[in-house]
Amino acid sequence: MKITDIVSSRLILRHLDTDFLESCLSGDIDAATESLGARPADGWLEETALMAVRLADMAAEPDYAPWSARALLRRDDLAMVGHINFHTLPGHPYLNGYGDVELGYTVYPAFRRQGFAREALLAMAGWVAAQGGVSRLVLSIAPDNLPSQELAAQLGFAKAGQVRDDDGCEDVLTAAWPLPGAAV
């Protein structure tokens, strides 16, 4: 199944399908490039644990695929500047009532502080709003990740709790749709 790109002013958010993920995990960069239509970033190729998790998630629950990982491709040259995904389908019990669905994202160091995270978050929030049934978004951000904390605050996210997981302590932030600056 071909999943439609999400397009913003400077980015294409392209689904990372099973062919792409399997090619990356096997080290076949040519096949991964062909599948994505762009060369995977070196930073992405280091994220083998995330690739394996997303492959398993899509195998266990095929309806999850459109919610899974997407490359952030810069429109003008198709450089992969990062990635974004929903951690699960909406309504997963792990959210403990904080919200409907959680977003996670990474922008690679060479592309940070250029507004790509904001643009990708707004594009994904717009996509999820069009799906219906989701009114509250969740982000989990380390307390010392000041750029992401500031971005979340600018987008209307507020701290709703704190959790400790494999990555350490994270603030749980929630926001209701529409986010400031989002197309409604």
Phi-psi map region of 181: left, alpha, beta (phi>0 left; psi -120 to 50 alpha) = left
Give me the sheet containing 6-7, strands edge to edge. Answer: 6-7, 11-15, 70-74, 80-86, 101-107, 136-141, 168-176, 158-165
Report yes or no on whether pTM surpasses 0.85: yes
Contact present, 37 and 14 (Cβ < 8 Å): yes
Give me the pLDDT at residue 1, please: 65
Look at the alpha carbons of 67, 68, 69, 75 in this order and tell me if their dihedral is positive or negative. Answer: negative
Give the dihedral sign, CA 96/124/39/107: negative
Structure tokens at 13: 């958010």
The confidence score (pLDDT) of residue 181 equals: 67
Taking the chain (184 residues) in runs of 10, the rounded mean pLDDT of each run is 92 97 97 97 96 96 96 98 96 90 96 96 92 90 95 94 86 84 61
Q: Which residue, 45, 5, 50, 54, is CA-closest to 26? A: 45
Q: What is the pLDDT of residue 131?
A: 87
Burial of 1 (0-12, 13-18, 19+ CB in 10 A): exposed
Rounded to whole angstroms, the Cα distance separating 89 from 99 reads 12
Q: Whole-angstrom Cα distance, residue 107 to residue 117?
A: 6
